[in-house]
Structure 1
Amino acid sequence: MTDSVFTRIVRREIPAAIVFEDEQVIAFMDAGQVNPGHVLVATKRQVETVMELAEAEAAHLFAVATRVAKVVQATFQPEGMTLLQTNKPAGWQTVPHVHVHVLPRYANDGAELVWPRKDPPLAELQALAARIVL
């Protein structure tokens, strides 16, 4: 696997505005700020998707994302907050390295998340749910 841009940030080969770092994750300002305070929280270990993380790694990633979101909320006072984690290109992932966007939001800020609702009947939802065995 080729090193991702995030791995290169972890190794300090690419400069970044880092807001938090520990042994497992790194949080830094998104270079493509949608709104002021837009932070990315990424694993230090390069894996492409959340499905490749152990539960403890995923829990830590989202715990740090939650901490960052609370500080961004207190600091920037946005009207809302979107935490977004995407996987694989068809799932809107643009960097093949698991990460969470902490995105402060404002009404009419131009950021959109749109998908077509299918609204299947309850029986179909129940059949789909039965296929998901944890």
Structure 2
Amino acid sequence: MASQSDCPFCEIVGREDPDAREVFRDDNVVAFFPTEPATLGHTLLVPRSHIEDIWTLDDRTATNLASATLMLANAIRRAIKPDGLNVIQSNGEAATQTVPHLHIHLVPRWRDDRFGRIWPPETDYSDFEKDEAWERLRSAVRNSGRHG
């Protein structure tokens, strides 16, 4: 599998980090606890290949990640018994991606946990702005060849 020598997640994939708390591994993905979990049971899932973000992700790896995400979500539900679960995948610095290796956060949630809100309580976009963004996105989807 492709890796980068300075990538901390590639070190975990390559079993070079003796402190990693690994949860799951197969031929395609590795899941482990982050060093500073947002909540107990917070798990990171990474592809074994060094893929920086969602824009460089291929369909086969995406399918493997989706399948492993479902399996881990169910395992977290059984083992940790949270009130809820956030599945978060961030891309780029503006979206708070701090390690340039694609990763999915599975974060168990409880009603009174310290994680906090992940969405703003409200926004103030005009109908014109929303319609303009809607049309640009619809056009991009049509041009992708993957519309129904």
User: Normalising to structure 2: TM-score of the pair?
Assistant: 0.81
Instruction: Return the match for 2:79 from 50, 75, 81.
Output: 75
- Could you say which residue in structure 1 is the equivalent of 2:119? 114
Tell me, yes or no, if structure 1 residue 38 matches structure 2 residue 42: yes
**In structure 1, C-alpha distance between the alignment counterparts of 2:38 and 2:134, rounded to whole Å:** 38
Classify 1:107/1:46 alpha carbon distance in 2 versus 1 (closer, same or farther; 3 Å).
Answer: same
TM-aligned CA deviation for residue 43 of structure 1: 0.8
8 Å contact 2:22–2:30 — kept in the other structure? yes
Classify 1:128/1:98 alpha carbon distance in 2 versus 1 (closer, same or farther; 3 Å).
Answer: same
**In structure 1, C-alpha distance between the alignment counterparts of 2:47 and 2:104, rounded to whole Å:** 9
- Could you say which residue in structure 1 is the equivalent of 2:136? 128
Deviations 1:76-107 (A, max 9, x none): 11011000001111111011100100100012
TM-aligned CA deviation for residue 56 of structure 1: 1.2
Identity percentage over the alignment? 29
- Could you say which residue in structure 2 is the equivalent of 1:12? 15
**In structure 1, C-alpha distance between the alignment counterparts of 2:17 and 2:124, rounded to whole Å:** 43
8 Å contact 2:31–2:44 — kept in the other structure? yes
**In structure 1, C-alpha distance between the alignment counterparts of 2:108 and 2:126, rounded to whole Å:** 32
8 Å contact 1:19–1:27 — kept in the other structure? yes
How large is the Cα RMSD of the aligned pairs?
1.8
Classify 1:124/1:30 alpha carbon distance in 2 versus 1 (closer, same or farther; 3 Å).
Answer: same
**In structure 2, C-alpha distance between the alignment counterparts of 1:2 and 1:120, rounded to whole Å:** 46
- Could you say which residue in structure 2 is the equivalent of 1:3? 6
Unpaired runs of at least 5, structure 1: none
Unpaired runs of at least 5, structure 2: none
8 Å contact 1:39–1:102 — kept in the other structure? yes
User: Normalising to structure 1: TM-score of the pair?
Assistant: 0.89
For residue 132 of structure 1, give the secondary structure of its aligned residue in structure 2.
helix
Q: Which has the larger radius of gyration?
A: 2
**In structure 2, C-alpha distance between the alignment counterparts of 1:80 and 1:14, rounded to whole Å:** 30
| Number of aligned residue pairs | 134
8 Å contact 2:73–2:106 — kept in the other structure? yes
Moved more, 33-42 or 109-118: 109-118
